[in-house]
Amino acid sequence: MKDINSWMRFFTKHEIIGIAIFVVVLFASVVLQGNYVNVSPEVQFADMSKSNLSIVPASCPSDPHFAGECSGEIPPGGDCSLNASSYSISPGQPVTLSWAISSKISESDGGGCFFRNCNIAPVSATIIPRIGSVPVPNGSTTDYPPSTTNYIMTATYQDGDRARCSAIVTVQEASLCVPVYTCSGNGVLNSCTGVVTPCPPGNPCASGQCQSRSCTAGYFCSGNDLYFRSAQCVNSFIQACAWGCAGSACLPPPSPTGTIKVNPSLISSGRTTQVTWSSTNTTACTVTENNPDINDSWTGVSGSQQSSEIRRRTTYKLTCTGVDGSEIAATATVYMRPIENEK
């Protein structure tokens, strides 16, 4: 009783009732706590463009320890193998494809993995082209590919993760005659068979091929200009690249450079020096110094200025902003000639 009275004095009556109610309410929330999910503003965020289309930003490089994961391919989470009975066959020959998909440890199953088996099995798999759905986790099937085929298997796991693997089967030409294709009328002549295959209307023959109206859509360079070619072979001009065009993209801006010199670099107290600086691939530069007695400061991507009278060691610093957005800096120091040398 005495001990209880001691504790009663430690907390007031209202505080004890308050804590008890607080605990009862929060104890009930423990049941619901497992269902609390933190939904950040980025999860369903899409910003609207001026023409009312949705733009979806990502945030991969925000993690300071894994920023580089978005500079390369994202590796699939699972593991599989797809093998062919032969990787080079003659036309009309069969090939047997066999596969095995291993279970994986889930790393993003939504929680609760600690309390149950974390081995996640594959639930489905498909092989394209020509095959379609296949049984999991392993099996085999036979196909008669008409031409060289890249079989790609995609397996899906219980947690939604995927595994990808592939096998290329080359179908060799059976004929001993190596055909030469030339145009004959509006058709393609096979020199081995002598057969002329007419081109579809609207698709003229040129260089031994029917000119297809179907193109692979994508970007290409013409000189320093970037174009987009549609699947209908229509070319659209995009932009004249400021720094050249290569492959299928404009080249990025070059890195900046900068140098600064002082002449002379060894002076007597009270003398001046000539500060000269230059830079390449920059948009703006400033020159400052660390001498509290003077106030030299200049701007310009290059220049030459006479300093103020200097009476102590002074370092001039060039700071420039590159056309690629980066910053560079360079320094040059003026030293004081010792006084005894002047005597």
Partner 1 sequence: MEVLKRGLVIFFLLGAGLLEEGTQEGTALLSSLPVHNIFLTINAGEAYARGSLHFNALRSRDYDIELAQFFFTLAEKVDPHYPYLQHQLARIAFLNGDFKKALFHIDKEIEMCGAKHANAFYVRGLIRGFAGDYERAARDYERYLSSDPKNWAAINDYAWVLLKSGRPREAVVATAGGLSFHPGNPWLLNSNAVALYEIGLIEPALEQARKALIESRVVSAREWLTAYPGNDPRVAHDGISALQGSIRRNVHTLLLAKKKDALQ
Element (H, E) at 214: none
Minimum CB separation from partner 1 for residue 339, in Å? 39
Residue 318 CA to residue 290 CA, distance in Å, equals 12
**Cα 53 from Cα 102, distance rounded (Å):** 41
How many CA atoms lie less than 13 Å away from 282 in the CB half-sphere? 22
Query: Residue 88 or 235: which CB sits closer to partner 1?
Result: 235
Cβ proximity to partner 1: between 279 and 307 the closer is 279
Q: Least distance from C-beta 91 to partner 1, angstroms?
A: 31
Cβ-based nearer residue to partner 1, 111 or 132: 111
Using the minimum distance from each CB to partner 1, give the nearer residue, 42 or 293: 42
Cross-strand bridge partners of residue 206: 209
Work out how close the CB of 185 gets to partner 1 at its nearest, in angstroms, rounded to a whole number.
33
Closest C-alpha among 271, 253, 252, 254 to residue 263? 271
> Could you tell me the smallest distance in angstroms from the CB atom of residue 28 to partner 1?
11
Q: Which is nearer to partner 1, 192 or 233 (CB)?
A: 233
What radius of gyration do the chain's Cα atoms show? 37
* Measured distance CA(130)–CA(122) in Å, rounded: 21
Say if residues 184 and 197 touch (Cβ distance below 8 Å): no
| Residue 141: C-alpha distances to residues 85, 86, 126, 144, 149 (Å) | 10, 13, 12, 10, 15
Q: In the bound complex, what is the minimum distance in angstroms from residue 257's beta carbon to partner 1? A: 14
Closer residue to partner 1 in complex, CB, 93/158: 158
Please report, as a single letter, which amino acid is at residue 117: N
Asked if residues 148 and 88 have their Cβ atoms less than 8 Å apart, the reply is no
> Residue 283 or residue 305: which is nearer to partner 1 going by CB?
283
Question: Closer CB to partner 1, residue 69 or residue 309?
Answer: 69
* 89 contacts: CB under 8 Å, gap ≥ 6: 95, 145, 169, 170, 171, 172
Closest separation between CB of residue 261 and partner 1, Å?
24
Closest approach, Cβ 48 to partner 1, in A, equals 9
CB of 312 to partner 1, least distance (A): 28
Our CA angle for 92, 131, 151, nearest 5°, is 80
Q: Identify the helix (H) or strand (E) that includes residue 154.
A: strand 149-157
Q: Which helix (H) or strand (E) holds 28?
A: helix 13-33
Dihedral angle sign, alpha carbons of residues 19, 21, 22, 27:
positive
